[in-house]
Amino acid sequence: AQTVTQSQPEMSVQEAETVTLSCTYDTSESDYYLFWYKQPPSRQMILVIRQEAYKQQNATENRFSVNFQKAAKSFSLKISDSQLGDAAMYFCAYRSALTHGGSQGNLIFGKGTKLSVKP
Amino acid sequence: GAVVSQHPSWVICKSGTSVKIECRSLDFQATTMFWYRQFPKQSLMLMATSNEGSKATYEQGVEKDKFLINHASLTLSTLTVTSAHPEDSSFYICSAHKAGSPYEQYFGPGTRLTVT
């Protein structure tokens, strides 16, 4: 079974600074997807960034980028120029690329990292 | 964009009663919908996977007779909590996988259930 581990329950960053959130995962599969989701106090899950395992290039989305190390099974999220609106819970998630009867599989989430941004 | 709605957003019910939560994909067809449960300050735990027109697949430890899931159409899945007890109080989140898309799931805003 696949597992996702986020070893940092809480992190804090100064506004405009850079912070990196850690995530490791365990799987025997070679093809999969990795995601970072943000959950603000409203509790609406928001996709931050996605990485396909077959791609060597790290994904980037504006101020958000990942460091994907497939051999090490590591998938960290870097937030540059942190803003007050970045304060939220961040969840790392894994999903197999295998389909089941034509349906996509479910997401497996880590326990989350609570990010605080200091003004 | 792909929008998923949930109704109601919050509900309070008495112990022993049943409550139904709806999850709708508003602008796309969802072949698969997922139901998650989230306790305060915890992560999302998958309860079940529902495919349109077939029986839901429940995760180990989730009582299928208590949490009834129906996925009657490509845009609607419902979760009914039967004979609710205070320990069923939680935040329930649905997500929908867009037909034809290999990537992300789209999440609803969640439903807060309080059983008194």
In tens digits, chain B (116 residues) has pLDDT values of: 789 999 999 999 999 999 999 999 999 998 899 999 999 889 999 999 998 888 899 999 999 999 999 988 999 999 999 999 999 999 999 999 887 777 768 999 999 999 99
Separation CA B100–CA A102 (nearest Å): 10
For residue A72, the model assigns a pLDDT of 96
Tell me the shortest Cα–Cα distance from B34 to chain A, in angstroms: 7
Predicted confidence (pLDDT) at residue A101 exceeds the cutoff of 60: no
> Between these two residues, B98 and A64, which has the higher pLDDT value?
A64
pLDDT of residue B31: 84
- At residue A56, does pLDDT exceed 80? yes
Interchain proximity B95–A43, CB inside 8 Å: no
Residue B31 Cα distances to A5, A99, B53, B93, B111, angstroms: 29, 12, 9, 17, 21
Nearest chain A residue to B108 by CA: give it: A44
**Per-residue model confidence (pLDDT) at position A103:** 58
Q: Is A35 on the interface with B (CB under 8 A)?
A: yes
Q: What pLDDT shows up at residue A78? A: 98
- B91 part of contact set with chain A, CB < 8 Å: yes
Q: Which two tokens mark B82?
A: 């039967």
Cα angle B24, B51, B94; round to 5:
40
Using an 8 Å CB-CB cutoff, list chain A residues near B97: 103-104
- Residue B86 to residue A86: CA distance in whole angstroms: 33
- Cβ-Cβ contacts under 8 Å, B44 against chain A: 45, 91, 107, 109
The helix/strand/coil state of B86 is helix
The CA dihedral of A47, A48, A52, A57, to the nearest 10 degrees, is 170
Flag if B49 and A102 touch (Cβ within 8 Å): no
Of A12-26, A39-53, B100-114, where does mean pLDDT reach its minimum? B100-114
Q: How far apart are the first and last CA of chain A?
A: 41
Residue A69's pLDDT band (cuts 50, 70, 90): very high
Does position A113 have pLDDT exceeding 80, yes or no?
A: yes
How close, in Å, is residue B5 to chain A by CA atoms?
A: 11
Cβ distance B110 to A43 less than 8 Å, yes or no, reads yes
Residues of chain B found within 8 Å of residue A108, distances taken between Cβ atoms: 46
Q: pLDDT band for position A80 (50/70/90)?
A: very high
Q: What percent of chain A has pLDDT over 70?
A: 95
Chain A's closest residue to B54, CA to CA, is A101
Of the pLDDT bands very low, low, confident and very high (cuts 50, 70, 90), residue A105 is confident
